[in-house]
Structure 1
């Protein structure tokens, strides 16, 4: 069982895995390596922050239109995360139609800032701040629009009313006034980002992208050893009311059969709630890819502001400087040093 003590954004856990000869069991020791939360700022840095503020102000002003406001309300009550570009693209309400171009441009800008391809599509999402606000969300109320804070320990959020005025919202408690939170679709960005990482690693010869058919044929012919996550639990995630769902993934590093450093990304999208034990039976390490019976794993939670292209470049640059000395050399420090504190 591999466990984490916290699910806060920016927390990294370094794990060394040792293959057990003759089986698929593993021993794992997990210890906190670095917590970037101490250095985190309450909000994402510009220009991503300024882009979200721009759309938040535009959206709050657009809610003066009763027809559009009702459509946003219906969508927020029906869906946990509303695709803002899609909603604005199909409305007949003038204010919503006017908003579409701005949101589309902002989505493209955010994708670029996160190092994602233009094909990623829409990323901005709107959600009701908390379930308790549902009973207060009626046709007579014009909700404020709050921009999600990047740090879990932010003391306040900036919210805009329909007249363009900014308000500080205390994060210590759920406000009585209903408000929408404007945020980035972390799940969508995360999955697109993992593809960016995988391609960048493959381009540098740090991993391979074999077909599923090839994997199945190899396993059927010879079999292979693997380490899997049998059970995993997240404790005390400290996720505040204004945060949406988070995404976790692991970077598995070691030396490939050719003696060069290798890194594989492993998605862990099921880790949503603390106090819950998940039984994914997920393959973490395929030992046939590695020269030694040792590997390092960095488990991390995706930050909304992650630039995947920059992250991939930093990690590949760090790992390409490490050479095989004929015995296993831990690579976790090289990976952690390459990851920006933010």
Structure 2
């Protein structure tokens, strides 16, 4: 498997328990007995009433996977799903279900739509975010067996890098424990969260919430030159590479974003989220020429970068609130203070799981930094150069 994903849930925010119950054991194969759509209940986040958002997202995805598996008892619908999975690397699951004929596919649509709504709520995203669930074939090696008519299993993307098994369901709803490190011979569909859409929507939420607290701008950091007169200096990434990692076959590509932090012109700490959608595979060097830091926003010619991964379970609104609460306590004493630790310390211990989605961090990058810089954790290496962005 070529996809890379750097673990799950360093900044998964605390959220409330879901009202989703995933049935176990043997279930009827009839389409009229699909599991009900999941519902979410948001409660106040207290120390004794907080549930890890990673658990919630995993439950939603698992319930959707089992519902889809049961729906595949219908021959025509199973063929439609097969054709879609073979024709594309990733399929919008809600759109596929809505287009189904009045068979099991049509009856599974409300389950998928309900799961999408539950995911958006759990991740702190707007209700109009759109469909988040995607379907893909776990591995290209399964294509031949799928074309030959082998009955597929359905699994949710595994969030735990250290998991020994992946739970997949057959068309009777029965769970099967598959080896997480060995690609199965039987075809397996994987239900996963659309990381591209989730990060795009999530970073908008981050900017909105951080701007409301006075720690950011409502626009992308490299998008505005109006406040910088004739233009502004940036630190541009000319190349970037993440380290190799061996992960379960059920995982997909990573979706990386960074939090750039420093002291704003007014002396208040600011945070600028930067999306890095191209950075999805480990062991590969990318040449994005992406502006990472907009120096016109900062008082000092120094900034820090914390690189994160969207792992499916990140609650962006809670993340923004936690980071804001921590950084607002940091004061400008007339000299630059590194902020990486403050960002990481903003996440309570009970928000961490076995597989943190913290990728790497870079301390005190300077406006004049040129050349290759390695991350403090040793997972990432960037090559930077100063770059002047002229005003239009």
Using the alignment, how far apart are the partners of 2:265 and 2:225 within structure 1? 20
1:10-67 Cα deviation digits (max 9, x unpaired): 598xxxxxxxxxxxxxxxxxxxxxxxxxxxxxx9744332222222221111111111
- 1:285 is matched with which residue? 293
- 1:34 is matched with which residue? none
Using the alignment, how far apart are the partners of 1:330 and 1:232 within structure 2? 22
The runs of 4+ residues in structure 1 deviating greater than 6 Å are: 211-214
1:262-297 Cα deviation digits (max 9, x unpaired): 110111111122332211111111111111111111
Secondary structure of 2:210's counterpart equals: helix
Using the alignment, how far apart are the partners of 1:169 and 1:269 within structure 2? 30
Structure 2 unaligned regions, length at least 5: 11-51, 354-392
1:223-269 Cα deviation digits (max 9, x unpaired): 32221111111221324321111111110111101010111011111
1:64 paired to 2:62: no
Number of positions where the alignment pairs a residue of Structure 1 with one of Structure 2: 306
TM-score, scaled relative to structure 2: 0.74
8 Å Cα contact 1:44/1:150 also seen in 2: no
Secondary structure of 1:106's counterpart equals: helix
Given candidates 273, 279, 295, the residue that maps to 1:271 is 279
CA pair 53-7 structure 1, distance change in 2 beyond 3 A = closer
1:141 paired to 2:155: no
1:174 paired to 2:183: yes
1:323 paired to 2:334: no
Using the alignment, how far apart are the partners of 2:323 and 2:166 within structure 1? 33
CA RMSD in angstroms comes to: 2.2
Secondary structure of 1:215's counterpart equals: coil
- 1:299 is matched with which residue? 307
Secondary structure of 2:147's counterpart equals: coil
- 2:60 is matched with which residue? 51
How many angstroms does 1:210 deviate by? Answer: 5.2
Using the alignment, how far apart are the partners of 2:310 and 2:330 within structure 1? 26
- 2:129 is matched with which residue? 120
Secondary structure of 2:232's counterpart equals: coil
Given candidates 66, 72, 97, the residue that maps to 2:106 is 97
1:1-342 matched pairs, under 5 angstroms: 8-10=6-8, 45-138=54-147, 140-209=149-218, 215-217=224-226, 221-339=229-347, 340-342=351-353
